[in-house]
Amino acid sequence: MSDRHSLSALMILKLGSLFTLSDEETQALHDLPIQAIDLKSNRDIVRIGDSSLQCFLILEGYASSYKLTPDGQRQIMALHIPGDIPDLQSLYLKRMDCSIASLSPCTVGFFQVEELRRVCARHPRIAAAFWRDTLVDASILREWVVNVGRRDAYTRIAHLLCEFLVRLEAVGLVQGGTFDFPITQANLADATGISAVHMSRALKALRDNGLIQTRRRYLSVPDWQKLQEAGEFDPLYLHLEDNVAAGLLRTSQLETAAL
Amino acid sequence: MSDRHSLSALMILKLGSLFTLSDEETQALHDLPIQAIDLKSNRDIVRIGDSSLQCFLILEGYASSYKLTPDGQRQIMALHIPGDIPDLQSLYLKRMDCSIASLSPCTVGFFQVEELRRVCARHPRIAAAFWRDTLVDASILREWVVNVGRRDAYTRIAHLLCEFLVRLEAVGLVQGGTFDFPITQANLADATGISAVHMSRALKALRDNGLIQTRRRYLSVPDWQKLQEAGEFDPLYLHLEDNVAAGLLRTSQLETAAL
DNA sequence: CGATTACTTGAATTCACTCAATGGCGGTGG
DNA sequence: CCACCGCCATTGAGTGAATTCAAGTAATCG
């Protein structure tokens, strides 16, 4: 499983923005006690209405934030990948306003919100980095609204896949345009606000057009340019350009980052 | 126009959460130099891609965050009301990922991002309060995704109006279920991800069912309970219950809060 | 290997869309 | 003060993208 080191590397990768963290700051993150837990697929990790004293970092696998409507429909409004802290909002909001569930077998690291609050109080630059992280998440949500509100199914799915690929790439989880993709069509449908049946048809169209290839639990993008165009994808909203750590990673391909 | 006092009152109202701000903290917000500007309706205040050194607070009127798709469709992903700082993200993100425009004649107060950053550095509790504010905005975005992704037009509009009313109420801008509502149907359509024509039909249905009344530039909600049910509205996601200042305001109806 | 879950495909339906034409309101200027 | 123009809202008719329902196939897991 994941040791302290890779955990800290993931965090620093995600946070490293605006400035590089000092050794002391890195150490502070290192020293944050974490309890690693393994989870099966499709398990709620936190539920809407909860007011937990803990937060969790995804170490391995994917998760989603979702809500249910009264008639039982589901909408996923965020996908979470290794390095994400999906419920970081618990830092300053009393109750969860959505549920978070694993989309695949997951390893997550729980820590005390209070401890993180202390780290933030002692290290303003770490606080700023986490704050920035929540601002990027908000930006992703804004694009998600555009996706669901104004794009047709085909474009919408292409866009979602573009975003997912770029975010995975930033944490070193893409090899040659291929990445782990165990997410069911039903879940993808809930993420894009379409029906599962239509998701099947639209994915077929994407496959037929050579934009994606699905082999087992993996997804490949043979022509990145074409998929971007199909998805009307512009990565501006991911705010990667001003992320120091991610930039360093991309150029040097640090081994430590691959979980 | 708005003097320093009401400006500070608006800010404190919005920020007053988790704890009440001390006199010193209040003073720090007071001392933030602001330049008030009047704007006509439908004017861009900031544009996507901008990297401004300024932020603005809405003093009067409404604004929206929006993006355009390549084929010219528009999606509004946030409505902003007095007391909001729509581009607070500029604090830690280099470029704007959406445009922000006035939806009505507006008065906005510009201030230097750098100054706010200084205030946050000197007053960690103010920083926490602003951070919390961005977290609530993210929560509203999550609900917006659900609205646009999974609700039919009728329910979707009802929900949007519920949210708008509750947020306005929190800053004292609702009198007896009636509030200023100069927002065109085309803008509402862009906010809900439907067409302007269908917006007209759905609004008619809401009117015919007695859920809303539209007189001139004002909107009335005769039966709050019924509108909430029609919109599947649960205010949990607005995180009002733990907002000290708003709570105080609601119970004591401070005069200072009315702009 | 059997059972469950995930995916595919067809057919009919529906909600929302576009196009188009008309009506109302408010502001501006002759 | 009224006429006109432009913006906003409404309504009808036809279309279309995505839905539901249904049946059947493929994949995965214990």
DSSP class per residue in B180-230: E----HHHHHHHHTS-HHHHHHHHHHHHHTTS-EEETTEEE-S-HHHHHHH
What are B111's strand-pairing partners?
B55
The CA distances from residue A174 to A2, A98, A163, A198, A250, in Å, are 19, 29, 13, 27, 11
**Among A18, A93, A128, A92, which Cα is nearest to B118's?**
A128
Residue A250: per-residue pLDDT: 55
More confident position, B11 or A153: A153
DSSP A45: E
Question: Which residues in B lie closer than 8 A to residue A95 (C-beta atoms)?
Answer: 236, 239, 241
Alpha-carbon distance A180 to B178, whole Å?
Answer: 52
How close are the terminal C-alpha atoms of chain B, in Å? 9
Asked if strand C comes closer than 7 Å to A139 Cβ, the answer is no
**B113 and chain A in contact, CB less than 8 A:** no
Judge if the beta carbon of A43 is closer than 7 A to nucleic acid strand C.
Answer: no
Q: Is residue B64 a contact partner of residue B76, using CB atoms and an 8 Å limit?
A: yes
Per-residue pLDDT tens for A164-221?
Answer: 999 999 999 999 999 999 999 999 999 999 999 999 999 999 999 999 999 889 999 9
- Residues with Cβ within 8 Å of B142's Cβ and at least 6 positions away in sequence, in order, are A65, A67, A77, A78, A97, A98, A141, B237
User: How large is the average pLDDT for residues A11-31?
Assistant: 80
The predicted structure's pLDDT at residue B13: 76
Please give the domain boundaries of chain A with CATH numbers for all domains: 4-131 (2.60.120.10), 151-258 (1.10.10.10)
Q: Which residues of B102-126 are buried (b: 16+ CB within 10 A; e: fewer)?
A: bbbebbbbbbbbebbeebbeebeeb
CA distances A157 to A198, B42, B155, Å, are 11, 32, 25
Which among A74, A89, A128 has the least Cβ separation from residue B135?
A: A89
Tell me which residues of chain B have a pLDDT lower than 50.
1-5, 252-259
Task: Using the C1' atom of nucleotide C15, identify the protein residue whose alpha carbon is closest.
Answer: B152
Strand D interface, A 139-168, C-beta < 7 A: 152-154
* The one-letter amino acid at B135: L
- The reply to whether B131 touches chain A by the CB within 8 Å rule is yes
Tokens linked to A150: 């104004």
- Residues of chain A with pLDDT > 90, as a percent, come to 78
pLDDT digits (tens, 9 = 90+) for A51-66: 999 999 999 999 999 9
B135 touches strand C (CB under 7 A): no
SS3 A105: coil
Q: Which of A46, A76, A142 to mutate to test the interface with B (most CBs of B within 10 A)?
A: A142
pLDDT of A1 > 60? The answer is: no
A77 and B146: CB-CB below 8 Å?
yes
The answer to whether A240 and A250 are in contact (CB under 8 A) is no
Contact A108, A45 (CB under 8 A): yes
Chain B environment of A131 (Cβ under 8 Å): 91-92, 127, 131, 134
DSSP, collapsed to helix, strand or coil, labels residue A210 as: coil
Would the CB atoms of B93 and A136 count as touching at under 8 Å?
Answer: yes
